[in-house]
Chains A and B, each alone.
Chain A
Amino acid sequence: MIHLENVSKVYPNGTEALKNISLSIQKGEFVFIVGSSGAGKSTFLKLLIHEETATFGKIQVNGHDLMKIKRRKVPYLRRTMGIVFQDFRLIDKMNVYDNVAFAMRVIGTPEKQIKKRVREVLRLVGLHGKEKRRPNELSGGEQQRVSLARALVNRPETIIADEPTGNIDPERSHEIMKMLADINNSGTTVIIVTHEHDLVEEFGGRIIRIDDGEIAEDKYISTKYHELPVSINTSNLVLDLGDDTTQQAPSADTLGKERNQ
């Protein structure tokens, strides 16, 4: 659960990146954050993982109060989230397997568990058999799938993606978005910052438009991926989404199963 109340972020140079933002994102939501360049979208994501701290207001993320969080607790906040970046951020000198395993190793997971889980997520993102490849031997779309696998591997509650399709061609972008939708269908909250209007229209779900640091629009688009929840009141900023209103995929897909293991 993510909850922001009257949050403002002023950077040290005086830029007011977010102005008095209030919103809640329930567990299991599929959210697009849209808005022009410089609107404050990345800043919003940075606040969620405590990469930046809010100047004013209240922020609660996955059970952590970020205005009071202790330094040594921040890693545990971050373990509840998987992050996907526009530029993939893979380690060049590691192969696909190690890039994904890395995220588990550095939080102290035993090697045996790592082996099993990495194989699982690589299959999930369709990279089975490419474990030994280096990032530079993969296409942009494949690299982003490695990065997605890495974000997923520690079973986060929330996936946040900052323009995940910004560096890949449209066809592959669709593939990535489809995976994110599938991940969401397994119960993981997904928050995606994007510029790509077509994808937003196609995948739907909750759309939050940030304009010059303020929430300009907060609406739902119902699509085959994300049907409009029945109980929703779109005029309300703080949306009431019970667990049963999250969209369960009609077909029990692979992602839905992996979550329950």
Chain B
Amino acid sequence: MKLSSTGYLIKEGFKNVWNNRMMSLASVAVLISCLIITGAASLISLNVSSLIAAVGDDNELTVYLKYELSDTDSVKIGPQLKKIDNIEQCRYYSKEEAIKQYKDTLGNVYESMQGDGNPFGNAYKIRLTDLSKYKSTVKQIKQIDGVDSVSDRSEIAGKLTKLNYFVTLVGFWVVLVLGIVTLFIISNTIKITMYSRRFEISIMKSVGATNAFVRVPFVIEAMLIGLLAGLTASGILIALYNPVKDAASGIVNLIANSTIPVEQLWLPILVSMSVIGMIIGILGGLISITKYLRKEGGEILGW
């Protein structure tokens, strides 16, 4: 494609969108819903991750060792725990320290629970780097000889992680299905434009236009649909971000101070939505453009 044609080709692309405006609008609308859901899911996930990071500080787990394990053997487990990647911090928590916690509650009985009478086993207090890998890390810990059990992580972090997982999973499937629908609709939109311009395309082919050239206005049409949807979707997401966040923080009071402020997010939202929109648009467009232009011969209609 020569530079001299750029203006002509872009104009043709805009014309396509306008001439086929009903279908263009339908494509834009479907793509907007797809992008909003993708964007909303990502934003929720981002914020939940930021919350998890915030509550992660309270997130100490206890690794209980087998009761009969001697003090010397217990101490040897420390280095093994430290070797596990996801363990950020690891502190020995002896049974003496454990029983001391209950000194006041136990009163007289406390004395009898020293030494051999201690009902506790030795333990370690640990912190994980990535809480979402909780399960696999616990599995690794339990493989160590002498480990009895691992305490549950703090409840809120657990719930958040579950929520995050849920949002990601549901978001993924919804986006996948909507994405396919969007591709289908865009490719149909482009197919209709190409069909309505088949006579012109046929003349173009007869005077020696290359496929690359014939393709461009339709790719631009698809890209414009994507861009339009991307801009609208990001506008909606940015506008709704704070109201939704405020409403959510009314339910969970934790949220307010550990969420990401909109000032930090609007530009990434705008850019990513526009880029994703255009990519989906172009992909959808290419499906039908490639199909249309693949045939060799029989290009000059009705001759």
**Minimum CB distance partner of A42 in chain B:** B303
Q: Is the CB of B303 within 8 A of A154?
A: no
B207 partner, pick from A46, A74, A106, A111, beta carbons under 8 A: A106
Interface string of A18-57 (1 = CB under 8 A from B): 0000000000000000000000001000100111110000
CA distance A30 to B41 in the complex (A): 70
A109 cross-chain contacts in B, Cβ below 8 A: 4
Identify which of residues 74-89 in chain A touch chain B, using a CB-to-CB cut-off of 8 Å: 74-79, 82-83, 85, 87, 89
- Complex Cα spacing A111 to B199, Å: 23
- Chain B interface size, as a band, is 20 to 34
Instruction: Let me know if A107 and B208 touch, CB within 8 A.
Output: yes
Residue-by-residue, is A143-171 near B (CB-CB < 8 Å gives 1, otherwise 0)? 00000001000100000001000000000
- B1-24 interface bits toward A, Cβ cutoff 8 Å, 1 = contact, 0 = none: 110110110000000000000000
| Residues on the A chain within 8 Å of B4, using CB | 108-111
Closest chain B residue to A104 by CB distance? B207
In whole angstroms, what is the CA distance A74 to B302 when docked?
Answer: 19
Most buried by A among B206, B211, B302: B206
The residue on B at minimum CB distance from A89 is B203
Q: Which residues on B sit within 8 Å (CB–CB) of A224?
A: none
Q: Is B72 an interface residue (CB 8 A)?
A: no
CB 8 Å contact bits of A90-116 with B (1 = contact, 0 = none): 010000000000110111111100000
* Tally of chain A residues near chain B (CB < 8 A): 33
Is the CB of B166 closer than 8 A to any CB of chain A?
no
- With contacts A51-B303, A75-B208 taken as known, whether A102 is within 8 angstroms of B203 at the C-beta atoms is yes
Instruction: Give the nearest-CB partner of A76 in chain B.
Output: B208
List, in ascending order, chain A residues with CB within 8 A of B1's CB.
Answer: 108
Q: Does A257 contact B (CB under 8 A)?
A: no
- Which residues between 201 and 220 of chain B lie within 8 Å of chain A, taking CB atoms? 202-211, 213-214
Q: Chain B residues near A49 (CB, 8 Å)?
A: 206, 300
A71 interfacial contact with B, CB 8 Å: yes
Quick one: closest A residue to B199, CB to CB? A91
- Please tell me which stretch of B59-67, B228-236, B291-299 contacts chain A, meaning at least 4 of its Cβ atoms lie within 8 angstroms of it: B291-299
Contacts of B210 in A (CB 8 A): 72, 75
CA distance in complex: A111, B5 (Å) = 8
- Least Cβ distance of B292 to chain A in Å? 14
Of B2, B210, B211, most buried by chain A (CB within 10 Å of CB) is B210
**In the complex, A51 Cα to B303 Cα: how many Å?**
10
B200 interfacial by beta-carbon distance below 8 Å: yes
Evaluate contact between A78 and B206: CB separation under 8 angstroms. yes
Pairwise interchain contact B303-A85, C-beta atoms closer than 8 A = yes
Contact A106 B303, CB 8 Å, known A51-B297, A89-B203: no
The distance from the CB of A12 to the nearest CB of chain B, in whole angstroms, is 11
Say yes or no: A78-B303 contact (C-beta < 8 A), given A52-B297, A53-B297, A106-B213. Answer: no
- Are A91 and B200 in contact, CB atoms less than 8 angstroms apart? yes
Q: Is B297's CB under 8 angstroms from A79's CB?
A: no
State A103–B205 Cα separation when bound (angstroms).
10
CB contacts (< 8 Å) of B302 on chain A: these are: 87
Residue numbers in B under 8 Å from A105 (CB-CB)? 5, 8
Closest residue on chain A to residue B300 by CB atoms: A51
Interface contact A108-B2, CB-CB below 8 Å: yes
Complex contacts, A106 vs chain B, CB 8 Å: 204, 207-209, 213-214
Given contacts A51-B298, A110-B2, 19 further A-B contacts (CB under 8 A): A42-B303, A46-B303, A49-B300, A50-B297, A51-B303, A71-B296, A74-B296, A78-B208, A82-B207, A83-B206, A85-B303, A91-B203, A102-B204, A103-B203, A106-B208, A107-B207, A110-B4, A111-B4, A111-B7
* Interface set of B (CB-CB < 8 Å, partner A): 1-2, 4-5, 7-8, 199-200, 202-211, 213-214, 296-300, 302-303
10 pairs of A and B residues whose beta carbons are closest in the complex: A79-B208, A78-B208, A108-B2, A106-B209, A110-B4, A103-B207, A75-B208, A75-B210, A108-B5, A106-B204
- 17 of the cross-chain contacts (CB-CB < 8 Å) are A49-B206, A49-B300, A52-B298, A72-B210, A72-B211, A75-B209, A77-B208, A78-B206, A79-B207, A91-B200, A91-B203, A106-B204, A107-B208, A108-B2, A108-B4, A108-B5, A162-B303
